[in-house]
Amino acid sequence: MRVSLGSYNIHGCIGRDGRYDPARILEVLRELQCDIVALQEVDTRLQLHLLEFLAEGTGSVAVPGPTLVRASGDYGNAVLSRLPILKTRRLDLTYKHHEPRGAIGVDIDCGGVALRAVATHLGLRPTERRFQVRRLLDMFRTESAQPAALMGDLNEWFLWGRPLRWLHAYFGTSRAIRTFPAHVPALALDRILVHPYHALETIGVHTSAAARIASDHLPVKAILNLDARAGDAKT
């Protein structure tokens, strides 16, 4: 009943050295060894089959969630899953005339338990994030006590801001793990929030040498125990 989750802003596969290198991103994903990974800033303009490359390299199925669609390639979010996908939903989170944003909601069969995993990348402005979090929370209203996880780059550095307070009211207060910038992490932008909170067994940042150069963000990894007898979360 243990499931591993990851969230990774891959920065279009452009590393801190300014070099485009999808193989480095794949190396980090293989290090993570996650059952389910939320990706942000997936840019297929330079490699149209980027998602297929990452999915094949990790033994996963890819669920694209582009927010910008162009003839030359798409840009946005994605989910990689090694576990069977039951249902997928996409949500537009674009606020007024700001940069298009979105979320992917995926129900995943975790050994007979359906986990609702939502991947997103929120906006840069506080007004955007307040609008987006209110819409996101609607994706977690289910008829049963279904376990759920929100994964992504929330772009929320105001620890006492309303978006985080609203999220913590549902998911419980999570650790602020610094993930950005990758070489000297100072801001907790990337998060994995879990409901019910006691299902979160461990959570931490992945700080390998490859992760410190492959993107400007470090990935976050969490282990969930979906057994109803799971105790309090560990750090």
Q: pLDDT digit string (tens) for 192-219?
A: 999 999 999 999 999 999 999 999 999 9
Percent of the chain with pLDDT over 70: 95
Whether 11 and 216 have beta carbons less than 8 Å apart is answered as yes
Confidence of residue 230 (pLDDT cuts 50, 70, 90): very low
- Which residue, among 92, 83, 73, has the nearest Cα to 13 in the 3D structure? 73
Where does residue 115 fall: left (phi above 0), alpha (psi -120 to 50 degrees), or beta otherwise? Answer: beta
pLDDT at 174 over 90: no
- Select from 3.30.420.40, 3.40.640.10, 3.60.110.10, 3.60.10.10 the CATH code of 2-225: 3.60.10.10
pLDDT at 169 over 70: yes
| Domain range summary for the chain, segments of one domain joined by + | 2-225
Please give the backbone phi and psi of residue 140, each rounded to the nearest 5 degrees, phi first. -105, 5
What is the chain's mean pLDDT, rounded? 93
Q: pLDDT digit string (tens) for 50-104?
A: 999 999 999 999 999 999 998 889 999 999 999 999 999 999 999 999 999 999 9
